[in-house]
Amino acid sequence: PQDCYILAVETSCDETSAAVIKNGNVVLSNVIASQIETHKAFGGVVPEVASRKHVESITLILEEAIQQAGIPPEKLSAIAVTEGPGLVGALLVGIMAAKSLAFALDKPLIGTHHIAGHIYANQLTNEILYPCMALVVSGGHTELVLMEKEGSFKLIGRTRDDAVGEAYDKVARALGFPYPGGPYVDKLACESEEVETLPRAWLEPGSYDFSFSGLKSAVLNTVNQHRMRGENEFHPAIARGFQESVIEVLVEKAVRAIGETSAVQLLLCGGVAANRGLRAALSERCQKEEIPLLIPPLVYCTDNAAMIGAAAYLKWKNGEFSDLALKAEPSLSL
Ligand code: KG4
Ligand code: ZN
């Protein structure tokens, strides 16, 4: 069979990214322009600013991705793009660029789900076996997804309030770190010798859902209590306590979900999959329970277009193409 080359585009939040992926798992290029420095000044992503930055970068990023891949555009098999979920204005920039290219080059267009992308990031370095369970932890999502076969997604648990990454970013802010604060909290937590005891939200027995807003509030209250007592050196213990609480619940629920389904693999993914503490704790627990665990390398955890190319390849194999009426779907479900 002929090789498949997919040019993928991702602009759902604050990264402008384009990649060329061969046969669903060989990364020929993966160019990412981060807007973090721009949004830092505002303490979070400003949607309107994100859209404008995407517009400024998209052409260069596309050119760079095609050039680095070293294949002529005529040789591309399809153009893939994140259609949702995400910020509508940000998604639109990628979609417009992908549509224009698909039209100009006369190639099929493949609208791709952002979370399917995070999950299939694992395919870039490992073979995914079915049925499997995905633990999706990002800035906007915290979900347990059972995949009975390729391309099938069954949501068995989700956050009822904040996503893990969102909780990390809010806690980081309270501790005085810039946006996005997840990596700072991770580092501080890993270095701390002391632990502040903080609550865990298990919810009803048997539930695979998550809740992190109570924990977040507990952190904010504890920070205030320390401040009122005039204490200064409390940040590491809070970071450690917060991280331990998050990790314990995520690991416990994911491992239980594996035990109670026929899943043969656990896939970790999303921006928070870059968390050192989570990677270590989940690896250790899965080793003990003899659960095969896949975790993408760091570059494929946070938003990138390579993962969109990996997910789009499955649609390409099945001839599932979109037409030029493809729309941005800010709250697209899996
Ligand atoms: O997947 P992603 O790049 O964007 C979304 O689709 O949301 O995830 C970004 C999130 C941010 O909240 C960021 O703070 C968090 O991932 N993050 C981390 C770490 N690296 C990134 N959270 C905890 N520890 C980390 N090392
Ligand atoms: Zn993401």
Query: Does 323 show up as a binding residue in the annotation?
Result: no
Query: Residue 153, Cβ neighbours under 10 Å: how many?
Result: 17
Instruction: Report the candidate in 152, 173, 188, 160 with the shortest Cα–Cα distance to residue 249.
Output: 160
* pLDDT score, position 230: 87
- The SS3 assignment for 10 reads strand
**Looking at the DSSP assignment, which residues form a beta bridge with residue 26?**
22
Chain segment 253-309, per-residue pLDDT in tens: 999 999 999 999 999 999 999 999 999 999 999 999 999 999 999 999 999 999 999
Domains of the chain: 5-119+301-317 (3.30.420.40), 130-295 (3.30.420.40)
76 contacts 281 by C-beta, under 8 angstroms: no
- H/E stretch holding 152 reads none
Q: What is the ipTM of this complex?
A: 0.98
φ and ψ at residue 150, rounded to 5 degrees: -55, 130
- The rounded Å distance from CA 180 to ligand 1 centre is 7
- Tokens (6 digits) for 308: 């969109």
Query: Residue 298, Cβ neighbours under 10 Å: how many?
Result: 11
Q: Tell me 21's DSSP state.
A: E
Q: Which residues lie below 8 Å from residue 202, measured CB to CB, with a gap of 6+? A: 249
Query: Does 139 show up as a binding residue in the annotation?
Result: yes
CB of 291 closer than 6 angstroms to any ligand 1 atom: no
CB of 178 closer than 6 angstroms to any ligand 1 atom: no
pLDDT at 234 over 90: no
* pLDDT score, position 1: 76
- Which pTM value belongs to this model? 0.96
Query: Does 114 show up as a binding residue in the annotation?
Result: yes
Instruction: Report the candidate in 258, 279, 262 with the shortest Cα–Cα distance to residue 208.
Output: 258
Within the chain, residue ranges assigned H as helices are 36-40, 47-69, 88-105, 114-120, 164-174, 182-191, 213-228, 235-259, 276-289, 306-317
* Cα 155 to Cα 59: distance, rounded to the nearest angstrom: 36
